[in-house]
Amino acid sequence: MRIVKFGGTSVGSAYHIKKLVNLIDVNKRTLFVFSAIGGITNMLADFIYQSKLGEKEICQHTFLRIREIHFRVITELFSSKNYKQIAESKVEESLKLLSYYSNHRITEKAEKEILVQGELISCSIIYLYMLEHEMDVAYIPALRFMFTDKYKEPNYLKITEKLTKELSKYNGCKLFITNGYICQNYKRQTDNLNRGGSDYTATIIGNVLRASIIEIWTDIDGLQNNDPRYVENTFPIRNLSYEEASELAYFGAKILHPLCIIPAQRAKIPIALKNTMSPDDQGTTISEYAISKGIKAIAVKDGITAIKVKSARMMQAYGFLRRIFEVFEKFKTPVDMLTTSEISVAMTIDNNAYLEPIITELCNLGEVEIDQNQSIICIVGNFNDNRNISIQSITDGLGNIPVHMISFGASKINISFLIDTTNKIEALNLLNQHIFRHHLCSINIQ
């Protein structure tokens, strides 16, 4: 079985949907994972925000905009009146929830249900379009098999059992469709795998079904050497190891959900990143066979808060770090970067939901300093190969940009810097010039 995921841009218009359906090889057993139409999940999140503020008119406006986008796709997509009507009624059905919550107080349960409507609608539309084209395809809603546990981790045993059962209902069928992003949590409520979660859906399914390949189709020719949103003339990296791809995804390469490499890596399934708009481009392959040489890519993660705890009590004491980390554990807040000196510890977090209680508790352990609006720049490559790469040769590239923390050594594939977000674009461009026009990258350029 192949797992093929199409992201928001790839299903973003009738033109795109026609194009992707054209790419389908009906003879290969394939399970397709579809995201919501590009921009819809953002609009659903806006709707929730506006509804909470009681902005009824703006809510109504957002609701109508979401409806209009889907109706336009349907009008341009279907040739038969019958399929068009069924598709329209699916949209109306899904949007009933929004219509209701334009005027009522929104609940937490409703928020989660609203967020997944984009994937429910896009899959219904594409499924109907494939049926209109007489393709033999089965639609298996993700809510029937994608279960998470109380830690929000995939419940692999249950997913395997349920998905296998669902697939067995369609003997002889080669094409299957499911929703990206959507899951059922341990309370049996509708939930999601966090923003960008359709990639994760694809790799979890790939793991469970021991797929031969997981293809992730998006709007760019594979994973680029730098963030194309901030740097011009980036180029695709043709091969990446799972470890390299994981670091890049975790530290901000938006093309991949931060956790989506893990399930593929565990089952040693290659991931191909492909461009729907130029399907013949080689894209990027992530596998255990990638050769790690030189520097591969740079990524950036925003929204970082640095927390420094300073205490003379730390000097030659044991158990101090444990007490600090217990605070983060208590508030279920992961730490990304960490550096220590004899009397202080500096850490970064990317989730400020519990920042206040964390600070309050850390104040019992020492003097606490906070810096917000920080970014982590992560450079990924093979730093084992230090005959060619010295740390200085990289730091030189940052020019005069102030660096607040450096992390290196825990893995030989990543060096990370913490800088002010205001310096991010300059830092990415300076490093790009320095690293990729320099001997450090010569092995990467194809």
Contacting positions for ligand ADP (CB under 6 A): 7-10, 35, 196, 218-220, 223-224, 227-229, 253-255, 297, 299
Does 180 bind ligand ASP (CB under 6 A)? Our answer is yes
> Looking at beta carbons only, is 219 or 371 nearer to ligand ADP?
219
Please classify residue 283 by burial: count the beta carbons closer than 10 Å to its beta carbon, then call 0-12 exposed, 13-18 middle and 19+ buried. buried
The residues, ordered by sequence, that sit 6+ positions from 325 with a Cβ below 8 Å of its Cβ are: 335
Query: What's the farthest any 2 CA atoms get from each other in the chain?
Result: 77
> Looking at beta carbons only, is 170 or 230 nearer to Mg ion?
230
Choose among Mg ion, ligand ASP, ligand ADP, none what residue 228 binds, the Cβ cut-off being 5 to 8 Å by kind.
Answer: ligand ADP
Rounded to a whole number of angstroms, the minimum distance from the CB of residue 34 to ligand ASP is: 9
**Interface of this chain with Mg ion, residues 4 to 23, rule: CB under 5 A:** 7
> Looking at beta carbons only, is 20 or 327 nearer to Mg ion?
20
Rounded to a whole number of angstroms, the minimum distance from the CB of residue 82 to ligand ASP is: 28
Does 196 bind Mg ion (CB under 5 A)? Our answer is yes
**Interface of this chain with ligand ASP, residues 104 to 163, rule: CB under 6 A:** 118
> Looking at beta carbons only, is 176 or 200 nearer to ligand ASP?
200
Selected binder of ligand ASP within 154, 196, 258, 366 (CB under 6 A): 196
Contacting range for ligand ASP; rule: CB under 6 A; set: 189-197, 262-270, 311-319, 361-369:
189-197
Q: Are 21 and 167 in contact (CB under 8 A)?
A: no
Rounded to a whole number of angstroms, the minimum distance from the CB of residue 217 to ligand ADP is: 7
Does 222 bind Mg ion (CB under 5 A)? Our answer is no
Choose among ligand ADP, Mg ion, ligand ASP, none what residue 197 binds, the Cβ cut-off being 5 to 8 Å by kind.
Answer: ligand ASP
Alpha-carbon gap, residue 122 to 73, rounded angstroms? 10
Alpha-carbon gap, residue 160 to 407, rounded angstroms? 38
Choose among Mg ion, ligand ADP, ligand ASP, none what residue 247 binds, the Cβ cut-off being 5 to 8 Å by kind.
Answer: none
Rounded to a whole number of angstroms, the minimum distance from the CB of residue 422 to ligand ADP is: 19
Does 397 bind ligand ASP (CB under 6 A)? Our answer is no
**Interface of this chain with ligand ASP, residues 32 to 91, rule: CB under 6 A:** 35-36, 41
Rounded to a whole number of angstroms, the minimum distance from the CB of residue 253 to ligand ADP is: 4
Alpha-carbon gap, residue 365 to 312, rounded angstroms? 10
Choose among ligand ASP, ligand ADP, Mg ion, none what residue 118 binds, the Cβ cut-off being 5 to 8 Å by kind.
Answer: ligand ASP
Does 198 bind ligand ASP (CB under 6 A)? Our answer is yes
Rounded to a whole number of angstroms, the minimum distance from the CB of residue 99 to ligand ASP is: 21
Choose among ligand ADP, Mg ion, ligand ASP, none what residue 258 binds, the Cβ cut-off being 5 to 8 Å by kind.
Answer: none
What are the backbone angles phi and psi of residue 274, rounded to the nearest 5°?
Answer: -130, 160
Choose among ligand ADP, ligand ASP, Mg ion, none what residue 206 binds, the Cβ cut-off being 5 to 8 Å by kind.
Answer: none
Choose among ligand ADP, Mg ion, ligand ASP, none what residue 36 binds, the Cβ cut-off being 5 to 8 Å by kind.
Answer: ligand ASP
HSE value, Cβ hemisphere, 13 Å, CA-based, for 285: 12
- The size of the interface with Mg ion (CB under 5 A), counted in residues, is 2
Rounded to a whole number of angstroms, the minimum distance from the CB of residue 401 to ligand ASP is: 31
Rounded to a whole number of angstroms, the minimum distance from the CB of residue 15 to ligand ADP is: 16
**Positions in the binding site for ligand ASP (CB under 6 A):** 7-8, 35-36, 41, 118, 180-181, 195-198
Please give the residue ranges that form the binding site for Mg ion (CB under 5 A): 7, 196
